């Protein structure tokens, strides 16, 4: 019987990089960047990071890590508990099931897939928040943040790609 080391530790310290980077991205979302009160201009960095790493190294971002990062994000951002957990877990579920259709394609395809996925996730988040809070939530701020997140995925993916190539 052979003993299999967990996937994360098989890569050594660099195996934890996707989780650490996504965690840092979640933390950066708290900082008063841009406008301190209207955080809509700050993209959902954790979502972009999770999608990038799941698309390139799916095994290094397990469900547990997605849920944990989402949990902290929910606590820190003071949004309904479970919202970001759900978004990140759904992202992993989507990527694991659909990666075969876009793996190895051009960056534009990855960008387009992320744009579509993030739109669906924001629509779900809007519906969930409206149900939890018992009121129809304003759409404009949510659409704005989705647009900013979708647009910023390209540059972010470039940065993540550089990090991945230099470390892994």
Residues that bind other proteins (CB under 8 A): 27, 29-33, 35-40, 42, 44, 67, 70, 72, 74-83, 85-86, 89-90, 93, 122, 125, 128-129, 131-135, 137-138, 140-142, 144-146
Decide whether 143 or 168 has the Cβ nearer to other proteins. 143
Decide whether 12 or 138 has the Cβ nearer to other proteins. 138
Q: How far is the CB of 21 from other proteins (least distance, A)?
A: 16
Q: Identify the H or E element spanning 18.
A: helix 17-28
Decide whether 141 or 161 has the Cβ nearer to other proteins. 141
Number of neighbours of residue 125 by Cβ within 10 angstroms: 23
Q: How far is the CB of 96 from other proteins (least distance, A)?
A: 13
Decide whether 13 or 81 has the Cβ nearer to other proteins. 81
Q: How far is the CB of 97 from other proteins (least distance, A)?
A: 14
Q: Which two tokens stand for residue 35?
A: 């406008």
Q: How far is the CB of 118 from other proteins (least distance, A)?
A: 12
Q: How many CA atoms lie within 13 A of 148 on its CB side?
A: 14
- 38 three-state secondary structure: coil
If we measure between CA atoms, which residue out of 110, 11, 115, 128 comes closest to residue 59? 11
Q: Which residues contact 9 (CB under 8 A, 6 or more apart)?
A: 15
Q: Which residues contact 77 (CB under 8 A, 6 or more apart)?
A: 29, 30, 84
Q: How far is the CB of 35 from other proteins (least distance, A)?
A: 4
Decide whether 142 or 163 has the Cβ nearer to other proteins. 142
């Amino acid at each position: 019987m052979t003993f299999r080391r967990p996937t994360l530790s098989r890569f050594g310290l660099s195996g934890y990089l996707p989780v650490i980077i996504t965690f840092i991205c979640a933390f950066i979302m708290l900082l008063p960047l841009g406008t301190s009160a209207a955080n809509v201009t700050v993209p959902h960095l954790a979502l972009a990071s999770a999608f990038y790493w799941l698309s390139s190294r799916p095994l290094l971002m397990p469900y547990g890590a997605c849920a944990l990062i989402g949990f902290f994000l929910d606590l820190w951002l003071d949004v309904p508990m479970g919202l970001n957990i759900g978004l990140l877990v759904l992202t992993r579920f989507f990527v694991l099931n659909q990666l075969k259709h876009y793996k190895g394609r051009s960056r534009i395809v990855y960008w387009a897939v992320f744009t579509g996925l993030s739109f669906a996730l924001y629509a779900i988040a809007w519906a969930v928040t409206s149900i939890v809070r018992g009121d129809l939530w304003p759409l404009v701020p949510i659409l704005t943040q989705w647009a900013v997140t979708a647009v910023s995925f390209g540059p972010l993916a470039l940065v993540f790609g550089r990090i991945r190539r230099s470390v892994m």
